[in-house]
A and B are shown apart, each in its own frame.
Chain A
């Protein structure tokens, strides 16, 4: 394995973007925020974009999470990206380049589904289950799309912005449900 643990230079600050040099990412909006490189593929091009990045040495998916932009809908997005309520945020890592790249996918509320990365990165298994559990974003193609942190019969998705905190202080067995 040609994995060299030592970076030539500390990352983050070095400004040049990687994604314009990758053929599979053409015409996908790219921005740089505080030294982090971010790409915004559409849901349709999401898998292809991630596969292109995987081929370009981003061999590990370090993190995947959901964000609910219900009360912060007017966030800054590059031109051509239509804001939707949910976002799936993926952090990919290249060991060779010692670089991270972030992928943000818009997921509409009316159809809260997103293709699963499981077959590219099996390590997203727990993360996608967590995003499903917390936001109700369903990952198509994931082999075990069940809740992971909340009980199986829980109603609602706790990290959604319209889910209030502290509604059920303690959950008792056989007690009436959340509402």
Chain B
């Protein structure tokens, strides 16, 4: 069937027929400028939003049901025309961490409703994933969340392995864990840097990027690339750790461990930083769970939910670490949670240094991982395996799996459907940034427009993953 037919059957107006009750067909959209118009995706002025919708819409596009703790009577319906204005933040704004556009409705300096408008970085990675074989797929997913490529590769590899039903050698698992934790340190340090920048602490920005470089150098040494490493692949990892990796890793964690204390000194006790973050952008545990928030955003709200602890994968049940939780759920808590998670990750890495087992770094099943390069010259079998793997790839049995890991931003999930061929029939990635972004209107509501930047930064969205 051609797309044209599909569009007439299911697209356009017919699709929307079911939601007409909530939509005022007559509502006039007034885009701020034709240049950036996203049409009906934009935040409509409250005067053109019908009252029924406005009541559901408390907190912007958030539209939380009434029992979720937000007071519907604190709505905006009582503001007359001209009392509020809609302001556009982004898509080109240094504090949006990419190309995120937030439309905020302001009454004076107070944010009433807001709506994140996304899609500017959409490159159809899920569609691309259906066109690449399982062997090629890791190169695609690693580009989604560009600050935690290891987590992306890990969730993809785990999904493929669950479809294949293979178990990994212990060393492969521990190498993955080591890289994941280094990646978490790297990501949180980068977050601390950009968050400092958003709050006008350029010192923090320089500090954070300095530390990040240490981890990236180790990634480069191990994987050949600083970012988008394509290191974790179905069946294990691409290469063993380089000689002397223990010294490198020890230098990284010793340095960053002491530098985290410096961050603590620089920011935690600083009156300006505390003023700007304490009590700003509060989200409670019930609302955070209802909004499907995960990661530091959820933990700062006081919910001790960490997949590494609660639904252990890799060998996280064999290392000791604490799940950091906040009490208030404000911007400061999210900062504190991340800062202490760096310390916990360092603790995990120390244990990995002690416990790293020896052995294979990938499955020795030649239908899943390629033979060593040297074997190809001497063995016909090895040549055939190599050729088959890189042309045809691997073919997991039909079925569907959902796998989730704790990425630095929250639950990173991969839903994969196999039809028995060498390409995923469907590869869906549940991006934590994409989901956490829904909470932003709830966090912004009632705050000052100046706090918008601090709050947005504390949610830590990576737009590459939001838009995929």
Q: Which residue numbers of A lie inside 8 Å of B, CB to CB?
A: 1, 3-7, 10-12, 33-34, 36, 59-63, 65, 67-68, 71-72, 75-76, 89, 91, 95, 98, 100, 102, 109-110, 112-113, 118-119, 121-127, 130, 132, 134, 136, 138-153, 155-160, 162-163, 165, 178-179
Residues of B within 8 A of A59 (CB): 289-290
Q: Across the interface, do A75 and B419 meet the contact criterion of CB distance under 8 Å?
A: yes
Contact with B19, one of A61, A134, A140 (Cβ below 8 angstroms): A140
Q: Given contacts A144-B63, A149-B467, are A155 and B311 in contact (CB under 8 A)?
A: no
| Known interface pairs A124-B292, A126-B435, A136-B10; A34-B3 also in contact (CB < 8 Å) | no
Residues of A within 8 A of B392 (CB): none
With a cutoff of 8 Å between Cβ atoms, the chain A residues found around residue B7 in the complex are 155-156
A11 to B455, CA, bound (A): 34
**Given A3-B303, A3-B304, A95-B303, also A63-B57 (CB < 8 A):** no
Q: For residue B37, which residues in chain A have a CB less than 8 angstroms away from its CB?
A: 152
- Is B415 part of the contact surface with A, judged by Cβ < 8 Å? yes
In the complex, the answer to whether A65 meets B292 with C-beta atoms within 8 Å is no
Proximity bits, B62-82, A CB within 8 Å = 1, else 0:
111100100000000000000
Contact A162 B1 (CB under 8 A): yes
- Does A34 lie within 8 Å of B41, measured CB to CB? no
Chain B interface (Cβ within 8 Å of chain A)? 1-4, 6-7, 9-11, 15-19, 22, 37-41, 53, 56-57, 61-65, 68, 118-119, 122, 124, 126-128, 131, 162-163, 165, 285-286, 289-294, 302-306, 309-312, 317, 323, 398-402, 404, 411, 413, 415, 417, 419, 425-426, 428, 430, 434-435, 437-438, 467-468
Interchain pairs with CB closer than 8 A, number: 211
Contacts of B415 in A (CB 8 A): 63, 65, 89, 91
Separation of A140 and B306 alpha carbons in the complex (Å): 33
Q: Which 6 A-B pairs have the closest CB atoms?
A: A123-B292, A152-B39, A5-B304, A140-B18, A149-B119, A63-B430
Are A123 and B413 touching (Cβ within 8 A)? no
Assembled-state Cα–Cα distance A57/B1 (Å): 43
Complex interface: chain A residues within 8 A of B63 (CB): 118, 122, 125, 143-144
Contact status A98-B127, CB under 8 Å:
no
* Residue in chain A with minimal CB distance to B413: A63
Contacts of B41 in A (CB 8 A): 146-148, 152
Closest Cβ of chain A to B189, distance in Å, is 25
A67 to B305, CA, bound (A): 29
Q: Which A residues lie within 8 Å of B417 (CB)? A: 67, 72
